[in-house]
Amino acid sequence: MPGPNRILLAIQGFHPHRWYELLSASRPVTLEPDGPADPSIDYAVVWKHRPGVLASLPNLKAIFSIGAGVDHILNDPAVPDVPIVRVVAQNLTQYMVEYVVWRVLDHHRQGALYRTQQPRKIWHEPLQPPADEIAVGIMGLGQLGRAAAKALLALGFKVNGWSRTAHTMEGVAIWHGENELTPFLNATDILVALLPLTPATRGIVDYSLLGKLNRENGLGGAFFVNAGRGQLQKDADIARALDDGLIKEASLDVFETEPLPETSPLWTHPKVFVTPHSAASSDPVHLVPLMLEQMDALERGERLTNIVDRKAGY
């Protein structure tokens, strides 16, 4: 068994105690802000680390993201040239599939309408299109997008996908690249964003994009679900698209600024369902063992898996 490696745990935005406890049960762990320039640090486990802190570690072998997204690491212009490993884990994927299925079904089965009817004691059954008349379009057909597509297919929805490069998936109509974005949107009733945040995807979900969704369907409009990153969308454009009827409802787990500022109109918008970036939270009980296995593999001279392609940005 390889000797213990020293880990720098650099987390901002939430308390790192559970990650610290689990990592330090088997490895020496330095909690940022202690440890800059510590030559004994081999690995960094990070979420929104302080920019520059990783560049000062002379013997760093790899960086582990606590999340599936790595924009919080690549934001740092001084991130050292060592492999960056992101989260790919059954537990995280399962949470995301649950969230996507929950929000798509709520829009499809007109949950918002029933929630307005009940307090007014209204006994009214709206027309309900079956799932096979509704097309859910997933932007980002990666680990999470493909798993969500599979679950939606099993429920009977038509499923569309959009990715950067060409793919095939049984039962899913797939478009790729900028040139094929419009036909993908035109064929979609419920849009689900599961893209990473990169220079190419920042701000992609704006008023004009939402206007390209299909509104001629049995639900009387289009819907938007964002469980990717908040900066994929323009918050103000979402509100405007709702008010102008381009979309009927939105489920937003992520926002341009997080936590969502109290002054944001999205908090109280009657057609918006807000969750606090909780669609698929990283659970250290499941993820720490995967990180330690990867560190051991590298120490044995094996290859790391789930390495980020820095050029693509995800």
Residues that bind ligand OXD (CB under 6 A): 67-69, 87, 282
Angular region, 294: left φ>0, alpha ψ -120 to 50, beta rest = alpha
Task: Give dist(CA 76, CA 201) in Å, integer.
Answer: 18
Burial of 268 (0-12, 13-18, 19+ CB in 10 A): exposed
Pick 131 or 139: Cβ nearer ligand OXD: 139
With CB under 6 A as the contact rule, which of the stretches 20-28, 198-206, 263-271, 295-303 interacts with ligand NDP? Answer: 198-206
Read off φ and ψ for residue 205, nearest 5 degrees.
-90, 90
Pick 5 or 282: Cβ nearer ligand OXD: 282
Tell whether residue 163 is a contact of ligand NDP (CB under 6 A).
yes
Site string for ligand NDP, 205-244 (x = CB under 6 A): ----------------------xxx---------------
Tell whether residue 168 is a contact of ligand NDP (CB under 6 A).
no
307 DSSP 8-state letter: B
For residue 253, the minimal CB distance to ligand OXD (Å) is 9
Strand spans (E) along the chain: 6-11, 29-31, 41-47, 62-65, 84-85, 135-139, 158-163, 172-176, 190-193, 223-226, 249-252, 272-274
Residues 6+ apart with CB under 8 A from 25: none
Residues touching ligand NDP, count (CB under 6 A): 31
**Catalytic residue flag (residue 269):** no
Tell whether residue 142 is a contact of ligand NDP (CB under 6 A).
yes
Task: Give dist(CA 185, CA 180) in Å, integer.
Answer: 9
- The one catalytic residue in 86, 277, 303, 310 is 277
With CB under 6 A as the contact rule, which of the stretches 108-116, 118-126, 163-171, 183-191 interacts with ligand NDP? Answer: 163-171
Which of 68, 135, 192, 238 binds ligand NDP (CB under 6 A)? It is 68
The binder of 314, among ligand NDP, ligand OXD, none, by C-beta within 5 to 8 A per type, is: ligand NDP
Which residue carries 């960086």 as its tokens?
63
Q: Which two structure tokens, joined as six digits, stand for 156?
A: 């009977």
Pick 62 or 225: Cβ nearer ligand NDP: 225
Which position's Cβ is nearest ligand NDP? Answer: 142
**Catalytic residue flag (residue 6):** no
Task: Give dist(CA 221, CA 205) in Å, integer.
Answer: 17
Task: Give dist(CA 64, CA 70) in Å, integer.
Answer: 9
Pick 95 or 175: Cβ nearer ligand OXD: 95
Give the ranges where the chain is alpha helix by DSSP (H).
17-24, 71-74, 90-108, 111-117, 143-154, 181-186, 207-210, 235-243, 284-299
Site string for ligand NDP, 240-279 (x = CB under 6 A): -------------xx----------------------x-x
3-state SS assignment for residue 129: coil
The binding site for ligand NDP (CB under 6 A) comprises 67-69, 96, 140-145, 162-165, 167, 194-198, 200-201, 227-229, 253-254, 277, 279-280, 314
Q: Which residue numbers are catalytic? A: 229, 277
